[in-house]
Amino acid sequence: MSDAFEQLLSDLRRQLERMRARPQQDQPPAVGVGQALDGKVKTAMAADGRLLGMVLDPAVLRMDERDLARVIVAAVNQAWAARQGLDEPTAAVAGMDPAVLQRQLSQLQDKGLDAMRRFTDGMQAVLDKVDARVPQ
């Protein structure tokens, strides 16, 4: 099981490295547009990530401030994804830094293998004690 787990993590590392090396395919649009609450909140984002503008329907100004904040964040995130040329879930994945993911994966692999070694060493110690007590 340890070998299979280590192989899986090694495969993930290689895949992340390929992602880092892959050039960008298409140019994203110059401006991304997002909207939320059936178009009552609209946002536009420049290619460099600056928020170009926001339009709020007067009806949303009567909303609870936390709910309004969530709606605005959703519209901004949609505009960000659109300027990447992606749908929002795909943009969230694309926005991840493969180098950071690779570093975290390496740390996870090291911790997992260390935990597995401690577990197997502990189990071997228990088996050794049982074996020592059983008459032969």
Task: Please state the pTM of the whole predicted model.
Answer: 0.47
- Residue 4 CA to residue 7 CA, distance in Å, equals 5
The superfamily in CATH containing domain 27-84 is Nucleoid-associated protein YbaB-like domain (3.30.1310.10)
Maximum pairwise Cα distance, the chain: 86
Distances in Å between the alpha carbon of 82 and those of 14, 71, 85, 88? 29, 16, 5, 7
**Domain boundaries of the chain, sorted by first residue:** 1-26+97-136, 27-84
Rounded to whole angstroms, the Cα distance separating 114 from 71 reads 44
pLDDT tens for each residue of 54-100: 999 999 999 999 999 999 998 988 888 888 776 666 665 655 666 76
pLDDT at residue number 43: 92
Query: Which tens digit of pLDDT belongs to each residue from 37-59?
Result: 999 999 998 888 888 889 999 99
Given a cut of 60, whether residue 9 has pLDDT beyond it is yes
Q: Distance (Å, rounded) from C-alpha 103 to C-alpha 76?
A: 29
